[in-house]
Chains A and B, each alone.
Chain A
Amino acid sequence: MSALSANTDGLRRRRAVNRLMEAIATAAAFAAVVVLGIMVVSVARRGGAAIDLNLFTKTPHPFSFTNQPSGLANAFVGTAVIVGIATAMAVPVGVLSAIYLNEFARARVAFLIALALDVLNGVPAIVVGIFVFALIVVHHGQSALAGSFALSILMIPLIARATQEVLALVPQATREGSLALGVSRWRTTLGVVLPQTIGAIVTGTTLAVARVAGETAPLLFTSSIVGDRLQWNPHLALASVPLKIFEYSESPDPADHARAWAAALVLISFVLVASITARALAARSRRRMGLHR
């Protein structure tokens, strides 16, 4: 009898521990969601109050105490130019290395290249900035092109891995069928296999763009010494949205803070919408390819 009651006491204790641990795990998950919520809400509230059309059409006014309309048009243009060129550089390299990785490389070589890509993905962005500084900026000065090159280094592993994962899902029979019809290997790869992965390339690229559009560190040493004029020329250092937010966030002037919040709202909206869309598309194409996860 006493043994039995001790046993139920043990059970009660075990259940209590279980409930405690479950509560902790639940609380942890909600804490993360709440932090995201607080962050998004404060950016939306403060940014929403400061945002207007001038932000996109006017360039910064040097004296914030005069009530001249002031905006960040140069930064938006600069970010578009820098990220656009970075994408144009990274997509071919990323996609082609993925094709090599999946279609041509032997297992051992593929393992090493995939490892190198993953390690490249882990190199801190600030170190990539210093690298491009040493490689280009020391000799040719700052330019949007140097910034683009730095960002493309961050994009290549993301695009390559996203493409390669889906290439690996294309059924072997597809390739064999095409080859059996007498189609050459390269036309099979480019005409039959690659088209099936277009969706993955697009989503991978979108995720990569979303990630680097907000990167500040690689631009500090490559495209940071800029004026307030609106410029399109990629041979010059161009202003960028993240760098402007960085500068304004360290300013003592509340008007600068307001502009930083407005720019942050635009940036965060772009990044979140792009990543959510890319994820949704990726989930859909995975389902289509018969991978249920």
Chain B
Amino acid sequence: MATTSPSLARAAELRRRGRFHPGDAALHGVTLVAALGAVALLALIAWKVVDQARPAMHRFGLHFLVSNTWDPGIHQVFGAAAFIFGTAVTSLGALLIAGPLSIAIALFLTELAPRWLRGPIGTLVEMLAAVPSVVVGLWGILVMGPFVANHLEPWLKHTFGFLPLFGGDPSIFGLLPAILVLTIMITPIVSSVSRELFLGVPQDLKEGALALGTTRWEMIRGVVLPYARSGIAAALILGLGRAVGEAIAVTQVIGGNVAIHWSLFRPGDTLASRIASQYQGATTKLQVGSIAYLATILLVFSLLANVAAQAIVRKVARRQPVIR
């Protein structure tokens, strides 16, 4: 991306021999400080969050990850197992719905929709990402919640009730509403990344397949999807990272409960939603430390997910310059 071409470098070199501009050095210095500041922020975030978590790390160690208690009362015992479980169930559940949905949307936008419709629908889908999470959560409690409790969950129970996933009593608050809210929030992201990927598939390959007599779906399955495979993986990882880190909307609909169970109808909690719901109540150093410990887990996961996704995206981008 650096655009210092040889000729520009030579010009700069020549001028440097001529006379020295203090302004050049100053601008270089100031911008360097700003850029390093942005990078240093990342390191500072990691250091401060871990530092804040230290009391809890000393007290509970790695046992924190498998302990299923959150007792801010007299015993002061904290553990993350229930929240890790809740995070895994809701994020993977959301990804399971949003993944295929987003790929389908991206295919519609790049291969199927008439040209005049692509822009408007693409914009509308991306607008869904612009809706603030607290508004999605408000809608989730007051509009989607009653629908889920009165219609969707009774129907699921009636039809698939033999599965433990759909056992239990229908309720406004629970893992299922959290999954649905997360689905709504990550679909725009995954679909807009996938759309960029599909746009990068060379036209000749697609036309070649169609010329061999394939149907459009066979062309998509045989050319578009394999070509974009690693990029789709990156898009899914990005979506997963977003789902795992989403705090507010999930807090509003998940119900807040320290428990590991297989019923999607019952309330639970994720790492992010537990942190968010503790914002008024943390009194002891150990509890604050435990909240920061939860944040550390979240941070480690999001760093891994993002670095992995960006690495894939950059590798793909080198192959096809269309994608940024």
Contact = CB atoms under 8 A, between A and B. Distances in A.
B38 A120 contact: yes
B119 to A, nearest CB: 9
Interface string B298-324: 110011011101100010000000001
Interface stretch (B67-75, B77-85, B106-114, B163-171): B106-114
Interface in A133-155: 133-135, 138, 153
B41 A36 contact: no
Interface string B229-241: 0000000001001
Given A21-B217, A101-B35, A110-B1, A125 B247 contact: yes
A28 B11 contact: no
Interface stretch (B58-66, B126-134, B151-159, B259-267): B126-134
B275 interface: yes
Interface string B1-18: 111110110011001000
Given A119-B307, A216-B133, A107 B2 contact: yes
A131 B132 contact: no
Contact of A104 (B28, B246, B292): B28
A242 B37 CA distance: 28
A133 B291 CA distance: 11
A127 B246 CA distance: 10
A205 interface: no
B252 interface: yes
Contacts of B309: 122
A230 interface: no
B132 A242 contact: yes
A126 B247 contact: yes
A264 B137 CA distance: 11
B178 interface: no
A94 B37 CA distance: 10
Contacts of A111: 1, 314
B95 interface: no
B49 A127 contact: yes
B96 interface: no
Contacts of A121: 306
B124 interface: yes
Nearest to A165: B324
B132 A127 contact: no
Q: How large is the interface on B (under 10, 10 to 19, 20 to 34, 35 or more residues)?
A: 35 or more
Contact of A26 (B108, B299, B303): B108
A123 interface: yes
A228 interface: no
Contacts of A210: 130
Interface in A88-102: 92-94, 96-97, 99-102
B55 to A, nearest CB: 12
Contacts of B15: 179, 184-185
Q: How large is the interface on A (under 10, 10 to 19, 20 to 34, 35 or more residues)?
A: 35 or more
A215 B125 contact: no
A251 B256 CA distance: 15
Interface centre among A25, A156, A221, A264 (most CB of B within 10 A): A25
Interface string A23-43: 011111101110110110011
Contact of B101 (A28, A179, A257): A28
A105 B39 CA distance: 14
B292 A134 contact: yes
A147 to B, nearest CB: 12
A275 interface: yes
A92 B38 contact: no
Interface string B189-225: 0010000000000000000000000011110100000
B227 to A, nearest CB: 17
Given A216-B248, A249-B142, A122 B132 contact: no
Contact of B310 (A31, A101, A115, A138): A115
Contacts of B220: 21
Given A128-B45, A224-B280, A246-B252, A102 B2 contact: yes
A120 B37 CA distance: 12
Given A124-B244, A127-B298, A127-B299, A119 B27 contact: no
A281 interface: no
Interface of B: 1-5, 7-8, 11-12, 15, 21, 23-24, 26-28, 30-35, 37-39, 41-42, 44-45, 48-49, 51-52, 100-101, 104-105, 107-109, 111-113, 121, 123-125, 127-128, 130-139, 141-143, 184, 187-188, 191, 215-218, 220, 238, 241-242, 244-248, 252, 272, 275-276, 279-280, 291-292, 295, 298-299, 302-303, 305-307, 309-310, 314, 324
Give the top 9 A-B pairs by smallest Cβ distance, nearest first: A214-B132, A124-B245, A96-B34, A100-B31, A122-B306, A28-B104, A134-B52, A18-B215, A97-B35
29 contacts: A14-B215, A17-B215, A24-B104, A28-B108, A29-B109, A32-B187, A33-B121, A36-B128, A39-B135, A110-B1, A112-B39, A113-B39, A115-B307, A121-B306, A126-B275, A127-B49, A133-B52, A134-B48, A134-B292, A135-B44, A172-B3, A184-B15, A185-B21, A187-B23, A217-B133, A245-B134, A261-B138, A267-B135, A268-B131
Given A126-B247, A172-B3, 12 more contacts: A27-B104, A32-B191, A100-B31, A120-B41, A120-B42, A123-B299, A123-B303, A123-B306, A130-B52, A184-B15, A216-B248, A217-B247
